[in-house]
Amino acid sequence: DSGVTQTPKHLITATGQRVTLRCSPRSGDLSVYWYQQSLDQGLQFLIQYYNGEERAKGNILERFSAQQFPDLHSELNLSSLELGDSALYFCASSGDREHYNEQFFGPGTRLTVL
Q: Which residues bind another protein (CB under 8 A)?
A: 2, 4, 31, 33, 35, 42-48, 50, 55-56, 58, 90, 92, 94-95, 100-108
Q: Based on CB atoms, which residue is closest to another protein, 13 or 55?
A: 55
**Strand, helix or coil at 78?**
strand
Shortest CB 111 distance to another protein, Å? 15
Shortest CB 70 distance to another protein, Å? 20
Shortest CB 45 distance to another protein, Å? 3
- 70 and 13 Cβ atoms separated by less than 8 Å: no
- 77 and 65 Cβ atoms separated by less than 8 Å: yes
Q: Based on CB atoms, which residue is closest to another protein, 18 or 75?
A: 75
**Sign of the alpha-carbon torsion through 114, 37, 18, 25:** positive
Distant-in-sequence, close-in-space partners of 85: CB < 8 Å, separation ≥ 6: 78, 111, 113
Q: Based on CB atoms, which residue is closest to another protein, 19 or 106?
A: 106
